[in-house]
Amino acid sequence: MNNTAASDLLLDVSKVRKILIDFIRNELTRTNFQQVVIGLSGGLDSSLACYLAVEALGAGHVLAIRMPYSSSSPESLEHAQLVIQATQVKSQTIPISGMADALIMRSPEMSAFRKGNIMARSRMIVLFDQSAANNALVVGTGNKTEILLGYSTLYGDAACAFNPLGDLYKTQIRQLARAMGLPEVIIQKPPSADLWVGQTDEGELGFTYDEVDQLLYLLVEKHKSIEECETAGFDRKFVEQVLARIRQYRFKRVMPPIARITQGDAGLDL
One digit per residue, the tens of pLDDT, for the chain of length 270 reads 566 677 889 999 999 999 999 999 999 999 999 999 999 999 999 999 999 999 999 999 999 999 999 999 899 999 999 999 999 999 999 999 999 999 999 999 999 999 999 999 999 999 999 999 999 999 999 999 999 999 999 999 999 999 999 999 999 999 999 999 999 999 998 877 666 566 677 777 888 999 999 999 999 999 999 999 999 999 999 999 999 999 999 999 999 988 989 888 776 666
State the pLDDT at residue 264: 80
Model pTM score: 0.93
State the pLDDT at residue 266: 75
State the pLDDT at residue 204: 77
Gyration radius of the chain's alpha carbons: 19
Among 42, 65, 64, which residue's Cα sits nearest to residue 54? 64
Cα end-to-end distance, the chain, whole Å: 48
Amino acid at 136: A
Judge whether 5 and 214 are in contact, CB under 8 Å.
yes
Domain coordinates in residue numbering, the chain? 12-201
* H-type alpha helices, 62-155: 74-87, 97-104, 112-134, 144-149
Report how far apart, in Å, the C-alpha atoms of 110 and of each of 71, 105, 197, 204 are: 16, 9, 16, 18
User: DSSP secondary-structure letter at 50?
Assistant: H
State the pLDDT at residue 206: 83
Measured distance CA(177)–CA(79) in Å, rounded: 14
Q: Which CATH superfamily is domain 12-201 in?
A: HUPs (3.40.50.620)
State the pLDDT at residue 228: 97
Chain Cα centroid distance, residue 214? 19
